[in-house]
Amino acid sequence: MFNKKTIEDIDLKDKKVIVRVDYNVPLDADLNVKDNTRIKLSLPTLNYLIAQNCKIILMAHLGRPKGEVVGKYRLTPAAKELEKLIGKPVKKFDEIASNAIKDYIDKTMKNGEIIMLENVRFNAGETKNNLDFAKELSGLADVYVNDAFGAAHRAHSSTAGIAQYLPAVAGYLLKTEVEELTSIIENPRKPFLAVLGGAKVADKIMVIKNFLNIVDSIIVGGGMSYTFLKSKGYEIGKSIHAEDPAEYEEQIKFAGEAIQEAQKNNVSFITPVDIVVAKMDSEGSFSGKKTVKADSIPCDYEGFDMGEETLKLYEKEIASAKTIFWNGPVGFFENAEFENGTKRVANAIANSNAKTIVGGGDTLSALKKFGLTDRISHVSSGGGASMELLEGKLLPGVAALLDK
């Protein structure tokens, strides 16, 4: 249940509304939007505000300009893409907030129109949650709407600080994301399976700790699985792991403890039993590709995908689940030689009868590569935000909104 006020819980008729959207989208070499998914996801909220005859002021970030004006991080491409999708002009400013923008909003802008401010991260105060900057932003509008789930885990001026100065409510995307993700923590259909991959164990530690009290089974794959194999005393050759020795030792210790905790909690904890390995030279070329037992990775080889026996275990577990959360590919799927494991997992999840929730940028890229995005119950737009929510954390951008 979402316990914060939304755009439907407040009078927005004819109001000036400043909306935080997540337009941190990939651009091509010509600075055109390569993937407009995040822009499309903002349309229900924007169309509702248009129907309420609002003056709509959009703010967003792109990339990490570190408080400086960087040409390639301007939001002009996003404004042009939004124009195409929403079917009306979007006036883009090259500043974030100024007297000129305020005058335009108050004196020239008509109700139902949309403007977009420049990248909020061009201001060094944004990522520090500088309240002077937040107050400056708030001076442009009557109401604040947060619809940027992908940035809701950041306590920034445009996600948290601004809510101190304006009535603050959620847009449709933010509400849906929080409801979908909290539903699998609070009331999942059983059996509940978590499929966790990707390169870094560090990114998943808190999620695994929380999931060990909720799920019925956990599948570990991808680069992070080699640390779990190491915790069992297996040699992993040159397979990916934390570079810092002290950090790596801590992660091996955590992996071993997680496996023991799973046994105590009667949680099935599935690690790879066979691995597709190869040698990679300094130029990124591969040789000697073969499948070996998980406890027999040669010292001069590196793991790049899950083996056939492992995938059969994964597929069997996926088929029996009623709720599935997936974050992280289980192999180097970007390379066609090592895409089999992630492709098989993606297809198994898409073909299952479970409620399926998928998050994380690389995972979404895999779904798109294999044409399966439309066959997932909910595809989360926020990787970091979704993981922090599933860790049990309160997201600053959500906490700042008005309670119902």
pLDDT in tens, 368-393: 999 999 999 999 988 889 999 999 89
Above 80 in pLDDT, residue 154?
A: yes
Stretch 101-123: mean pLDDT: 98
pLDDT computed for residue 1 by the predictor:
74
Distance of alpha carbon 226 from alpha carbon 139, whole angstroms: 51
Phi-psi region of 195 (alpha: psi -120 to 50; beta: other; left: phi over 0): beta
- Comparing CA positions, the residue from 307, 242, 251 lying closest to residue 278 is 307
Contact 318, 268 (CB under 8 A): no
Compute the C-alpha angle 46/181/369, nearest 5°: 75
Q: Give the mean pLDDT of the chain.
A: 96
Contact 267, 196 (CB under 8 A): no
pLDDT computed for residue 384 by the predictor:
87
Is residue 38 among the annotated active site residues?
A: yes
CB within 8 Å of 291: residues ≥ 6 apart:
274, 275, 276, 277, 307, 308
Catalytic residue among 67, 139, 256, 384: 384
pLDDT in tens, 205-257: 999 999 999 999 999 999 999 999 999 999 999 999 999 999 999 999 999 99
pLDDT in tens, 314-337: 999 999 999 999 999 999 999 999
pLDDT computed for residue 284 by the predictor:
83
Peptide bond between residue 191 and the one before it cis (omega within 30 degrees of 0): yes
Catalytic residue among 67, 139, 256, 361: 361
Catalytic residue among 38, 55, 175, 355: 38
Catalytic residue among 5, 200, 279, 393: 200
- pTM recorded for the entire structure: 0.91
